[in-house]
Amino acid sequence: MLTTPPVMAHVDKAGTLFTQTGQIVARYGLVVVLAWIGFGKYVKMEARVLIEHSPLMSWIYDYLSATAVARGLGTMEIVAALLIALRPVWPRASAVGSALAVVLFLGTVSFLFTTPGVVATHAAGLPVLSAQPGQFLLKDLVLIGVAIWTLGDSLQRTAQHTSVSKRLSSSSISQPAR
């Protein structure tokens, strides 16, 4: 089937529009999720049941209360959200927020392997995840992917800003003052 160039131009424009819209929804959806969960840790949500079974993080309760841990994690999530949101004006800060989000989600994804009750049963030889905590934790695979993408996008934007700044400063140096 042959397609005409005008049709392909419309398809290309639609593809660009969907890609840009998806990027905005992914970035700011991540911001909303991080901020919402972060604020939730100040009022009700707590991660103790997940953290206490983690060989990497269970030691923290020897030094801090459950409330202090929850608020510390909540603060990190809120800070990550705010920094990621700054990408249009401060891509370097957004990269820092994205890196923090990646670390936070790595911790959460690790709970898939350490938390009792993640697998409810097996069907046809495959594990079936429980709703809580299994399916709750599984979504973080997508969130870590978005955080990795925002990190790469922010780093690329930072590099572009740096190269433009260098070109501008070198061109102003090479120009004699008038």
pLDDT digits (tens, 9 = 90+) for 85-116: 999 999 999 999 999 999 999 999 999 888 88
DSSP string, the chain: ----HHHHHHHHHHHHHHHHHHHHHHHHHHHHHHHHHHHHHHHT---HHHHTT-TTTGGGGGTS-HHHHHHHHHHHHHHHHHHHHTTTT-HHHHHHHHHHHHHHHHHHHHHHHHSTTSEEEEETTEEEE-IIIIIHHHTHHHHHHHHHHHHHHHHHHHHHHHHHHHHHHHHHHHSPP-
Contact 101, 69 (CB under 8 A): no
Identify the band that residue 165 occupies on the pLDDT scale cut at 50, 70 and 90: low
Long-range contacts of 50-53 (CB under 8 A, 24+ apart): 50/108, 50/111, 50/115, 50/133, 50/137, 51/111, 53/111, 53/114, 53/115, 53/116
Q: What is the pLDDT of residue 122?
A: 86
Structurally, how many domains does the chain consist of?
1
Q: What is the pLDDT of residue 176?
A: 56
Q: Which residue has the higher pLDDT, 163 or 147?
A: 147
Q: Tokens 């969960």 appear where?
A: 37
Share the mean pLDDT of the chain: 88
178 pLDDT more than 70: no
Contact 71, 47 (CB under 8 A): no
What integer is the mean pLDDT of 62-85?
95
pTM over 0.75: yes
Q: Which residue has the higher pLDDT, 87 or 130?
A: 87
What integer is the mean pLDDT of 32-42?
95
Domain, as residue range, for 53? 5-174
4 pLDDT more than 80: no
Q: Which residue has the higher pLDDT, 131 or 46?
A: 131
